[in-house]
Amino acid sequence: MVSTLEPGRRAVVVVADAAIVEGKARGATAVLAVDGQIEQVGDPAAVLAAPMAAGAEVIRWDRRAMIPGTVNAHNHSFQSLLRGIGDDLPFLEWRDRALYRYSPRLGAEDMGTAALFAFGEMLLHGVTTVCDFYYLNAQGNDHASATIEAARRLGMRMVMARCFYDWDGAPAVYRETVPQAVANFEALARRYQDRERYLVTIQPAPHSQHGATPAMIEAGAGCARDLGVPWHIHLAEESYQVDESLRRFGKRPLHAVAELPVDLSNMIVVHACWFDAGERALLAERGGSLAYCPGSNMFLGDGVTDLCDLLAREVRVGLGTDGGCSNNRVSVLDEMRMAALLQKVQKLSGQAVTAQTAFSLGTAGGGDVLRLPVGRIAPGYRCDLVALDLDDPSLWPAQALEKNVVYALSARAITDVVVDGQSSVKDRRLVHVDQSEIQARVRELTSTWQA
């Protein structure tokens, strides 16, 4: 067989004994990728016989099932350092005793440590793409760059949702003026925006109604328009935020934001626990998206987003873990389970959200929300794959693979992770960074912190 691959291009074939493709379990499956993009999916013999597979690296996942890499649509990486600090407190006390107390102490090197910790743990839990909503920006881009470099070192795909934040009640390390935020965002995008492989994507993120003035929200949305990317904003996470919006603007959160000269069709709302029917209808009508964080919403006692209504209205939805100190877990596979179970009990219906729907939200749904070609095992998508140990009891019986992945999967069943066609986790260990290094750095940084 003669290869049709052009010189200098890289091909890989991943072969597994089972797979979940387009939400359906199937038997032995192979994926052929060239330069990180999936070109062919099918029977292993046929894929291996393809001309482009000649000379390709072959990764064999015997006794393992292949699933798409999961997509974490909302996270704050530095908060993993704060895990266990401020737990079980009311939201505002948690914010003051954890976030506002310790985050001002963190320098760029510390941010690199936090990102290695957060993203490394995510990779081990099958997350291949993470959106890091990042708001310690008063120093310019040094902290954000350290976070991005940590993701690149680990071999992880990331969206840097660079925050636009000017509320004077927050620590000074969070705050910029509108011109500073725009200039720093544009500089970061010029340095990192990767439009070919999507390994690093820069998107703007006006923090919230309380964290960003209307002028700052407008500026962030304007940067998104200019760059052709989505923009992110926390809205209606807590009930008091609805009251505050009514007091300040005379309108509920989404309606107040919609009155600004911003494009809601490329807006990603985070949380939306307290959107009423009118706001959910508006989000659908204007084409907005949702990053849904059920684990964090439960952990902080925020409330329950009406996911079922939003899905019925055909709103794009992805799943996020939120920060490590507002959830204590960084697994999107966990979020799939929690999303389904929380809606079932809220709606008093075991069919409210099915396993197949939850799986889609944590994979293809996240890719759709972030506007990235990830989360599916299909030609044209990036080759982000996760291997699951078929001999792990959490995946038995074998005929229930799709549902077991959502409802029963143990983290120990995740053995290998491929990002953009290259191994990032192999045999349950990070490939590019020694985990003992991360552990030592976290221990040294946090040894004097008090819960």
Residue 188 near residue 143, CB atoms below 8 Å? no
Query: What's residue 1's pLDDT?
Result: 55
CB half-sphere exposure, 334, CA atoms < 13 A: 21
Q: How far is CA 280 from CA 75, 389, 419, in A?
A: 23, 40, 34
Going by C-alpha positions, the residue among 117, 113, 127, 132 that lies closest to residue 67 is 127
- For residue 70, list its beta bridge partners: 127
Residue owning tokens 């052009």? 6
In what side-by-side order are the strands of the sheet with 289-292? 231-235, 267-271, 289-292, 316-319
Residue 413 near residue 395, CB atoms below 8 Å? yes
Residue 383 near residue 12, CB atoms below 8 Å? yes
Residue owning tokens 């596979």? 333
CA 378 to chain centre: 20
Query: What's residue 424's pLDDT?
Result: 98
Three-state DSSP class for residue 156: coil
What are the backbone dihedrals phi and psi of residue 410, each rounded to the nearest 5 degrees, phi first? -95, 145
Residue owning tokens 């044209």? 380
Transcribe 340-375 into DSSP letters. HHHHHHHHT-TTSS-HHHHHHIIIIIHHHHHT-S-S
Residue 451 clears pLDDT 70, i.e. is over it: yes
Contacts 24+ apart (CB under 8 A), 1-8: 1/49, 1/51, 1/54, 2/51, 2/54, 3/51, 3/52, 3/53, 3/54, 3/55, 4/51, 4/52, 4/54, 5/34, 5/51, 5/52, 5/54, 5/55, 5/56
Q: DSSP secondary-structure letter at 174?
A: G
Residue 7 clears pLDDT 90, i.e. is over it: no
Distance CA 163, CA 203 (A): 9
C-alpha angle 277/283/288, rounded to 5°? Answer: 155
Distance CA 19, CA 67 (A): 6
Residue 126 near residue 332, CB atoms below 8 Å? yes
Give the residue, 386 or 194, on which the prediction is more confident: 386
Domains of the chain, start order: 11-68+378-430 (2.30.40.10), 70-370 (3.20.20.140)
Hey, what amino acid is at 18?
A: A
Distance CA 44, CA 30 (A): 5
Residues contacting residue 277 through CB under 8 Å, at least 6 positions apart? 309
**pLDDT digits over 57-73, tens only?**
999 999 999 999 999 99
Give the residue, 324 or 388, on which the prediction is more confident: 388
> If you average pLDDT over residues 420-428, what whole number do you get?
98
Q: How far is CA 52 from CA 14, 31, 39, in A?
A: 14, 12, 9
Q: Is the pTM of this model over 0.95?
A: yes
> If you average pLDDT over residues 261-265, what whole number do you get?
98
User: Which of the four pLDDT bands, split at 50, 70 and 90, describes residue 3?
Assistant: low
Residue 2 clears pLDDT 80, i.e. is over it: no
Distance CA 258, CA 383 (A): 37
**pLDDT digits over 327-359, tens only?**
999 999 999 999 999 999 999 999 999 999 999
DSSP run (H or E) holding 188: helix 178-192
Instruction: Pinpoint the alpha helices (H) of 196-354.
Output: 214-227, 239-249, 253-258, 277-285, 294-299, 307-312, 332-347
**pLDDT digits over 313-331, tens only?**
999 999 999 998 889 999 9
**pLDDT digits over 228-242, tens only?**
999 999 999 999 999
Query: What's residue 295's pLDDT?
Result: 97
DSSP run (H or E) holding 203: strand 200-206
Strands 422-426 and 414-419: antiparallel
Residue 139 clears pLDDT 90, i.e. is over it: no
Determine what percent of the chain falls in helix, strand and coil, rounding each to the nearest 5: 45, 25, 35
Query: What's residue 77's pLDDT?
Result: 95
> If you average pLDDT over residues 419-426, what whole number do you get?
98
Sort residue 374 into left (φ over 0), alpha (ψ -120 to 50) or beta. Answer: beta
